[in-house]
């Protein structure tokens, strides 16, 4: 499958993408994960991106398009992909459209995850992520805690709260989303590609996507 997952931070894009990869070998491409690993490695990209990320702002479009232009040409994308956190601005969406045309790739559709703001705020402040870059399993201290507090079930590494999951950064990320990313819903609606889903459980979201795919 070839899908874009749209939704505010904390709407569940990453969790849904991980579930979908298990269905048919499509790969999850998360620009947030790519940027976080660049920051950890201290690469040029990471140095350029870090300040924006900590402040809850978007990284400049040119940097993101540089990453995605290369990533979509990698071999593993041939079995399908789930774009998680990209595009996030109208210019990114317009450039992606041109890029996909050039690569002769057709999207199935664009999923918009509608989740109420109070649920999003609660999820983000209680989310914990495995600190092992190879694992990055996601937990929630209220609804999906790890078996041993602070330790990842899958790999045994410590689970952590991300730098951009402080209340201040979360508020800023939600404002950024409303200003710069929410307009993509209209953009993809006009393209005839939008699938709006009002569901808070990731299993219900996956079912709605499968139904639309006819799988």
Least distance CB 33 / ligand AMP (angstroms): 7
Alpha-carbon span 24 to 191, nearest angstrom? 26
Least distance CB 179 / ligand AMP (angstroms): 13
Closest CA to 172 of 32, 36, 8: 8
Does residue 163 contact residue 54 with C-beta atoms inside 8 Å? yes
State which residue, 12 or 87, has the beta carbon closest to ligand AMP. Answer: 87
Alpha-carbon span 157 to 81, nearest angstrom? 28
Least distance CB 72 / ligand AMP (angstroms): 13
Alpha-carbon span 124 to 210, nearest angstrom? 26
Annotated catalytic residue 162: yes
State which residue, 92 or 146, has the beta carbon closest to ligand AMP. Answer: 92
Least distance CB 8 / ligand AMP (angstroms): 9
Strands 2-7 and 81-84: parallel
Annotated catalytic residue 2: no
* Burial (Cβ within 10 Å: 0-12, 13-18, ≥19) of residue 149: exposed
State which residue, 37 or 157, has the beta carbon closest to ligand AMP. Answer: 37
State which residue, 39 or 199, has the beta carbon closest to ligand AMP. Answer: 39
Annotated catalytic residue 13: yes
Annotated catalytic residue 36: no
State the catalytic residue, choosing from 55, 162, 172, 212.
162
State the catalytic residue, choosing from 13, 36, 123, 128.
13
Annotated catalytic residue 40: no
Residues in contact with ligand AMP by the rule CB under 6 A: 9, 31-32, 35, 52-53, 56-59, 64, 85-88, 92, 164, 173
Closest CA to 45 of 8, 82, 70, 26: 70
Contacts of residue 215, defined as CB under 8 A and 6 or more positions apart, other chains included, come to 23, 24
| Catalytic positions | 13, 88, 127, 162, 173
């Amino acid at each position: 499958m070839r899908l874009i997952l749209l939704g505010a931070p904390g709407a569940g894009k990453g969790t849904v993408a991980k579930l979908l990869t298990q269905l048919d070998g499509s790969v999850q491409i998360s620009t947030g994960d790519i940027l976080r690993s660049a920051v950890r490695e201290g690469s040029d990209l990471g140095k350029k991106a870090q300040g924006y990320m900590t402040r809850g702002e978007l990284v400049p479009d040119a940097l993101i398009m540089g990453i995605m232009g290369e990533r979509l040409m990698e071999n593993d994308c041939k079995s399908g992909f789930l774009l998680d956190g990209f595009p996030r601005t109208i210019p990114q969406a317009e450039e992606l459209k041109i890029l996909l045309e050039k690569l002769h790739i057709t999207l199935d559709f664009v999923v918009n995850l509608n989740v109420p703001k109070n649920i999003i705020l609660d999820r983000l402040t209680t989310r914990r992520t495995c600190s092992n870059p190879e694992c990055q399993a996601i937990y929630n201290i209220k609804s999906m805690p790890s078996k041993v507090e602070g330790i990842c079930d899958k790999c045994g590494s410590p689970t952590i709260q991300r730098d951009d999951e402080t209340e201040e950064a979360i508020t800023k990320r939600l404002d950024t989303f409303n200003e710069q990313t929410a307009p993509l819903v209209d953009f993809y609606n006009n393209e005839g590609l939008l699938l709006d889903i009002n569901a808070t459980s990731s299993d219900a979201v996956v079912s709605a996507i499968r139904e639309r795919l006819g799988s």
